[in-house]
């Protein structure tokens, strides 16, 4: 009898410190925000961790000038005016074929949507903030 044992490889999560990798992740994460809001934004990163081909970003969205994000000229103006939009952004990204792409995201959430993302997308839990 031949017994085959498959072992999962776990890659430790760590902050993204390499500038080229950081830029590639942030550029990829910015695409759905720009498409949704119909305007450019910059990120004030509060959490960016990577494990292998997975990364998680938690950031504040600001105007290119650095001023607080103004939803007034965006498709999200009405919900923002009613207090339903934060200036936070969360993105789960995966590198495939050498390119980072957004797997899941939350633009302006008022809760913590990433709590289910590790399980839903089979992403390493260590990239997410501690709860």
Own/partner contacts of 19-26, CB < 8 Å, gap of 24 or more, are 21/50, 22/48, 24/99, 24/100, 25/50, 25/55, 25/57, 25/93, 25/100, 26/57
Check pLDDT > 60 for residue 111: yes
Number of structural domains (the chain) is: 1
**Residue 27 neighbours by CB distance under 10 Å:** 10
- Residue 4 pLDDT > 70: no
Residue 71 lies in a domain: yes
- Per cent of the chain over pLDDT 90 is 80
| 21 domain-assigned | yes
Kindly state the average pLDDT of the residues 90-117: 95
Range of the domain at 102: 15-127
1 found inside a domain: no
Task: Return the residue matching tokens 């990163």.
Answer: 45
CB atoms within 10 A of CB 67: 9
Q: What was the pLDDT predicted at 12?
A: 81
Q: What pLDDT is stored for residue 102 in this prediction?
A: 98
The answer to the question of residue 3 being in a domain is no
In a domain, 86, yes or no: yes
118 found inside a domain: yes
Least confident of 84-88, 98-102, 113-117: 113-117
Mean pLDDT of 64-84: 95
- What's the rounded mean pLDDT across residues 120-124? 95
Which residues, in sequence order, are CB contacts of 117 under 8 Å at separation 6+?
Answer: 56, 92, 103, 104, 123, 128
**pTM reported for the whole predicted model:** 0.89
36 domain-assigned: yes
Tell me what pLDDT residue 17 has: 85
| Helix-strand-coil split of the chain, %, nearest 5 | 30, 30, 40
Q: pLDDT above 70 covers what percent of the chain?
A: 91
Please enumerate, as own/partner, the contacts of 109-115 that have beta carbons within 8 Å and a separation of 24 or more.
110/84, 110/85, 110/86, 114/56, 114/58, 114/90
Give the tens place of pLDDT for each residue, 7-64: 334 668 888 989 999 999 999 999 999 999 999 999 999 999 999 999 999 999 999 9
**Which CATH number goes with the domain that contains 30?**
3.10.450.630
């Amino acid at each position: 009898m031949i017994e085959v044992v498959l072992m999962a490889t776990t890659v430790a999560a760590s902050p993204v410190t390499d500038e080229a990798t950081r830029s590639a992740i942030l550029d990829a994460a910015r695409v759905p925000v720009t498409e949704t809001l119909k305007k450019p934004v910059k990120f004030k990163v509060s959490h960016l961790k990577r494990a292998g081909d997975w990364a998680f970003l938690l950031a504040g969205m600001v105007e290119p000038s650095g001023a607080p994000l103004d939803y007034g000229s965006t498709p999200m103006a009405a919900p923002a005016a009613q207090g339903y939009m934060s200036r936070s952004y969360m993105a789960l990204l995966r590198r495939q074929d050498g390119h980072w792409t957004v797997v899941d995201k939350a633009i302006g959430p008022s809760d913590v949507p990433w709590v289910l993302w590790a399980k839903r997308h089979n992403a390493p839990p260590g990239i997410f903030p501690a709860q």
